[in-house]
Structure 1
Amino acid sequence: MSYLLKPLDQCKLTLRNRLVFPPMATSKSEENGGISKALLDYYDEKSHGGYISLIFIEHSFITQQGKASDRQLSVADDSVIGGLKKLADVIHKNGCKAVMQINHAGSATSKAVTGYETVGPSPVVNPRRGLVPSELTKEDINRIIENFKDAAKRVKQAGFDGVEIHSAHGYLLNQFYSPLTNTRRDEYGGDLLGRIKIHLDIIKAVREVVGEDFPILLRLGACDYIEGGITIEDSKRAAVEFEKAGVDILDISGGFCGYIVPGLSGQGYFSDITEAIKEVVSIPVILTGGITEAETAERLLASEKADLIGVGRAIYNDSSWASKALESIK
């Protein structure tokens, strides 16, 4: 059997193969963040046939102040649970599993989007947005931890197979993680353990509400590729702490660079990071980034660069990509 077709069974989230569709923003929700027919149709099309083992639902805001953009999906209050259940049911009907990504934008948004002042860990300009946020108080941080907890509870109630905490691409938790934007002098800043304290607090709070058997994933912006930013060595240390805290799968991406990394190209361009992190944790690691060929996915898995392969743009552009790719390696 090919590496890509091998089931993942040594994990809380069991999967039929190693192919996943990563979270990709669509801006197809209703204006209030609710589930639209267009969104249901989109995920129905992407999951059709059950060729992809796991579908990630695009990042969804946990509170209005953390909304990243217009028509972003909401998981901010109980009124959305019914619509989210319809979404989970559509994906399950097609034979795929579904994980929902939950997020707070922090300083990667604006008052024009949220109606609120922009906040962050420190009053430091966001490299991707150019805004200087108001510094979050400890009371604010505690409220955000509760927001993540409540959002995760809704994800489980809606019938999803797991929840992913977003700490990449310059959003709030990435802002706490990176020394570029976190200059705090309290327990939520300083050294690496201080900068990931909010992550550990959120993981603990989410675990309390979803129970021991519900999978928790974390998307980690594992390298900023900017002087003074997060390094691979930082993320190796953080990954160990996240596993100890109860994260079941690590989903690796870039930090403030997002997917646009100067000097990095080709397929699987974050593979050096995933390989390094795999060496220090026992939980599965997801690699996404420029992968467009099944043969490349096979090679990356065979060389133990990752445990799961995310294919985003290729499937976004061609919903039949997965069926053709898996057929080609049988």
Structure 2
Amino acid sequence: MTYLLKELNDCKLKLSNRLVFPPMATAKSDVDGKVNEGILEYYDEKSKGGYISLIIIEHSFITSEGRANKGQLSIADENNIEGLRKLADTIHNNGSKAVMQINHAGSLTTKEKTGFDIVGPSSIINPRGKEIPRELSKEEIKEIIKSFKLAAKRVKEAGFDGVEIHSAHGYLLNQFYSPLTNKRNDEYGGNILGRIKIHLEVIKAVKEAVGEDFPVLLRLGACDYSEGGNSIEDCKIAASEFEKAGIDILDISGGMLGYIIPGLNEQGYFYEVTEELKKVVSIPVILTGGVTDINAAENLLASGKADLIGVGRAIFKDSLWAKRAIEILKTNR
């Protein structure tokens, strides 16, 4: 039995196999964040043949204040919808599903990049950042939630198959989730339920914008792997709440240290987390992190550590990786 070739049918997002190309920033966008020929050619090359069931587009900023980098895609206004529709169509025409990831950088950016003072849940420097942010007011939090809602609406209008909310790698929602950067004394801080209050409000707003039938994913930087950071137990509580709120797929990655675990090189970096999460949620879980070998992907699925496998850097370096992997599995089936 080849686990990677199994269809995913018990979810709103129907997939032809269990292989995912996770969001990876390319910095190929125009200065204003619009889709250009470079972006279209890149995703055309990666999705060619439909060997990857799901392509999750690199994180796109929901508002100029939340821009992480120059060259980052924008979902911040209506002017980008036409270009994004071309991008979704390109991936669909190759036989893959396409989901767009939406994000606010929070304190993981600079005033030079955005033109605005940087913000965060608390006035604490991001472990991966350079500047001390200004603490967000409750009114500003409401505006950011509204920006996520409008961005999700644009994703659907552009013809994507789903939207992914980004709360990993030290960006804004991850900053609220982590006790390393969230020292608030109001309802958006404190215990894990307080720290994910903004997530639940974003999920609610996004679902209001896109409707119940449109798949909503959430990428979570589950653990911080730092003293005083989030634990697997925190993650289990959060994941259960996200499922109740209507998240359809959980996409697990790293937290405030980024997409790695220091000192760990084993393929499927975050399998200890996804294995535990599968004990408390019934929705599909994506595992990414250092997977370069098709047999490793098969073993991670076979052992129940995840439902879907994200292969990023291997496909980033070699666009034919998925084609060879799928063909090998079909030959051995």
Give the TM bin, normalised by the shorter chain.
over 0.9
1:238 corresponds in structure 2 to 238
Task: Give distance in 2, aligned partners of 1:188 and 1:113.
Answer: 27
Contact 1:295 1:329 in 2 (8 A): no
Q: Alpha-carbon deviations, 1:135-163, whole Å to 9, x = none?
A: 00011000000000000000000000000
Letter in 2 for 1:266: E
Contact 2:127 2:257 in 1 (8 A): no
Q: Alpha-carbon deviations, 1:1-29, whole Å to 9, x = none?
A: 41000000000000000000000000001
Task: Give distance in 2, aligned partners of 1:78 and 1:143.
Answer: 17
Q: Alpha-carbon deviations, 1:81-134, whole Å to 9, x = none?
A: 001000000000000000000000000001100000000000011111132100
| Residue 309, structure 1, aligned to residue 309, structure 2 | yes
Task: Give distance in 2, aligned partners of 1:95 and 1:261.
Answer: 33
Contact 1:121 1:176 in 2 (8 A): yes
Letter in 2 for 1:65: E
2:263 corresponds in structure 1 to 263
Task: Give distance in 1, aligned partners of 2:266 and 2:179.
Answer: 28
Q: Alpha-carbon deviations, 1:53-94, whole Å to 9, x = none?
A: 000100000000000000100000011100100000000000
1:158 corresponds in structure 2 to 158
SS at structure 2 position matched to 1:4? helix
2:287 corresponds in structure 1 to 287
TM-score (norm 1): 0.99
| Residue 171, structure 1, aligned to residue 171, structure 2 | yes
SS at structure 2 position matched to 1:329? helix
2:6 corresponds in structure 1 to 6
Letter in 1 for 2:7: P
1:273 corresponds in structure 2 to 273
Superposed, 1:37-48 pairs within 5 Å as 37-48=37-48
Task: Give distance in 1, aligned partners of 2:95 and 2:52.
Answer: 9
Contact 1:253 1:270 in 2 (8 A): yes
| Residue 86, structure 1, aligned to residue 99, structure 2 | no
1:68 corresponds in structure 2 to 68
Letter in 1 for 2:61: F
Task: Give distance in 1, aligned partners of 2:145 and 2:6.
Answer: 36
Q: Work out the percentage of aligned pairs sharing the same amino acid.
A: 70
Letter in 2 for 1:27: A
| Pairs aligned (count) | 330
Instruction: Out of 127-136 and 37-46, give the one that drifted further.
Output: 127-136
| Residue 35, structure 1, aligned to residue 49, structure 2 | no
| Residue 192, structure 1, aligned to residue 180, structure 2 | no
Runs in 1 of length 4+ with deviation above 2 angstroms? none
Deviation of 1:326 (Å): 1.0
Contact 1:75 1:151 in 2 (8 A): yes
Task: Give distance in 2, aligned partners of 1:156 and 1:262.
Answer: 37
Contact 2:260 2:289 in 1 (8 A): no
- How much is the aligned-residue C-alpha RMSD, in angstroms? 0.6
Task: Give distance in 2, aligned partners of 1:179 and 1:199.
Answer: 15
Deviation of 1:197 (Å): 0.3
Task: Give distance in 1, aligned partners of 2:131 and 2:303.
Answer: 42
Task: Give distance in 2, aligned partners of 1:87 and 1:327.
Answer: 26
2:207 corresponds in structure 1 to 207
Task: Give distance in 1, aligned partners of 2:260 and 2:100.
Answer: 24
Letter in 2 for 1:299: N
Deviation of 1:260 (Å): 2.9
Contact 2:110 2:130 in 1 (8 A): no
Task: Give distance in 1, aligned partners of 2:131 and 2:278.
Answer: 35
TM-score (norm 2): 0.98
Q: Which runs of 5+ in 2 are unaligned?
A: none
